[in-house]
Structure 1
């Protein structure tokens, strides 16, 4: 069921992007909403779990996740938070770099899912919520053009299967390592969500729509948190 949900979130996002990808405002708003949800999941779910570890140096893995995401963005060019216009100038390097960067990103997110059985898990919902806008942008850029290629579909397929593969491989890792992977992904989530929330403020002016979307995303995460008694 979890694997189905992960794949379905990508498929839905991709097809929305393919047919409605011209609506950039919708994509941005969806990203901001997901960022609010994601940062709340980090603070109220992921980090408390990570810091319950007996390893007092576990925070280093969160920092490593932040740094790793910065490296991955040199390959994906910021697809994770809505940067895709300038990719048209880099068509020769986009497919392989994007494929690799997006796969590693999603694969790592899937590893901690090996210990999760509930579809209502905040961490799982965080990934699903995060997948939708990324897949929307992916679909808009790769499939929204008339000349979408087999390579485009291969990239989409690889991204859709990356988290499920990470989840399956997570079963083979030492259970004692799971908390380190969760910390690593927590750092990735923290970086992505904070960049989405803070980067698009123009001249540091108050953007009430953006604030409302962030609050809505945080609210959804809190509702799920308290509803399931965490």
Structure 2
């Protein structure tokens, strides 16, 4: 069921991007809501679980996640937080570096789900909410005349299967390592959500619209947290 939800979240985002991809403002708003959701899940769910263990150096893995995401952004060029450009010279080819960066990102997210018994945990919900705007941008990037080429379908399939593959392979890892992967992903999430939320506003004025969308994401995440507790 978890694998189905992971794939479905990507497909929903991609097809939204296919039909509404020209609305970049809509994509930005989705990203801001997802950032509010993601940073709340990090601080309320992921980090308490990570720091509940006995390893006093676990914070280094969180920092490692932040640094890893900074390196991945050399490949993705900020694709995860809405920095994308439409096609060059009419070509609709996703750069190989971008594909690799997105795959690694999604693959790592799937590993902490390997031994998950509850379906809709806050962590999984965070991934699903995060997947939709990224997939929206991916769909908008790949579509041509409201259609996807065979190569576009291949790229979408690779991205959709990255997290499920991480989940499946994660079952073969030592369960004691799960907390370290969770810390690593927590650092990745922290970096992505922080960049989206704290990106400079025009003339450094207060952007009430952005604050509103962040608060919406926070409220949705808190609702997920409370639902999970019950």
TM category (shorter chain) comes to over 0.9
TM-score (ref. length: structure 1): 0.94
Counterpart of 2:204? 204
**C-alpha deviation, 1:95, in angstroms:** 2.7
When residues 220 and 147 of structure 1 are mapped into structure 2, their CA distance, relative to the original with a 3 A threshold, is closer
When residues 8 and 147 of structure 1 are mapped into structure 2, their CA distance, relative to the original with a 3 A threshold, is closer
Write the distance in 1 (CA, Å) between the matches of 2:53 and 2:219. Answer: 27
Counterpart of 2:129? 129
Moved more, 199-208 or 135-144: 199-208
Moved more, 191-200 or 159-168: 191-200
Write the distance in 2 (CA, Å) between the matches of 1:215 and 1:221. Answer: 10
Counterpart of 1:20? 20
Count of equivalent residues? 230
- SS of 1:44's partner is helix
Write the distance in 2 (CA, Å) between the matches of 1:154 and 1:225. Answer: 35
Counterpart of 1:4? 4
**C-alpha deviation, 1:176, in angstroms:** 0.6
Moved more, 180-189 or 135-144: 135-144
Confirm or deny: 8 A CA contact 2:92 2:144 kept in the other structure: no
Write the distance in 1 (CA, Å) between the matches of 2:192 and 2:145. Answer: 27
Counterpart of 2:194? 194
Give 5+ residue unaligned stretches, structure 2.
none
Dislocated runs of 4+, deviation >3 Å: 86-89, 91-94, 144-149
Moved more, 136-145 or 206-215: 136-145
Write the distance in 2 (CA, Å) between the matches of 1:203 and 1:112. Answer: 40
Give 5+ residue unaligned stretches, structure 1.
none
Counterpart of 1:111? 111
Write the distance in 2 (CA, Å) between the matches of 1:211 and 1:201. Answer: 11
Counterpart of 1:61? 61
